[in-house]
Amino acid sequence: MKLTWDTEAVEKVDSQRLLAQYRELATQPGARHFDADMTPLASAPHVLEAEFVFPYLAHAPMEPLNCTVALTSAGATLWVGTQMPGLDGAAAARVLGLKPEQVEVRVQQAGGGFGRRAVASSDYVVEACAVARAARQAGLEGPVRTVWSREDDIRGGYYRPMHVHRARIGFDDRGRVLAWDHVIVGQSITAGTIFEQGMIKNGVDQTAVEGMREPYPLPMRLTVHHPKVNVPVLWWRSVGSTHTAFVMETLIDEIARTTGQDPVAYRMAMFGDRHPRHRAALQLAVDRSGYGRRALPAGRAWGVAVHESFDSVVAYVVEASVKDGQPVLHKVTAGVHCNLVINPRTVEAQVQGAALMGLGLCLPGAAITLKDGQVEQSNFGDYRVARITEMPEIEVHTVPSMEPPTGMGEPGLPPLAPAFANALARLTGKPMRRMPFDLG
* 37/202 Cα distance (integer angstroms): 20
What is the helix (H) or strand (E) element at residue 278, kind and residue range?
Answer: helix 276-289
CATH of domain 15-59+158-428: 3.30.365.10
Each residue of 387-414: pLDDT tens digit?
A: 999 999 999 999 999 999 999 999 999 9
Is the domain 66-147 a CATH 3.30.365.10 member?
yes
> Alpha helix locations (H) across 58-176?
85-96, 123-137, 150-155
> What 3-state DSSP class applies to 267?
helix
Domain boundaries, the chain: 15-59+158-428, 66-147
Tell me, what amino acid is at 239?
A: V
Domains 15-59+158-428 and 66-147 share a fold: yes
Each residue of 55-85: pLDDT tens digit?
A: 999 999 999 999 999 999 999 999 999 999 9
pTM exceeds 0.75 for this model: yes
Q: What does the mean pLDDT of the chain come to?
A: 97
Each residue of 216-270: pLDDT tens digit?
A: 999 999 999 999 999 999 999 999 999 999 999 999 999 999 999 999 999 999 9
Tell me, what amino acid is at 143?
A: P
Q: Tell me the pairing of strands 144-147 and 301-309.
A: unpaired
* 237/255 Cα distance (integer angstroms): 28
In 144-190, which ranges are E strands? 144-147, 163-171, 177-186
Which pLDDT does position 408 carry in this prediction? 97
**pLDDT over 90 (residue 289):** yes
Q: What angle do CA 47, 241, 148 make, to 5 degrees?
A: 135
Q: How far is CA 96 from the centre of its chain?
A: 35
Is 145:267 a contact under the CB 8 Å cutoff?
Answer: no
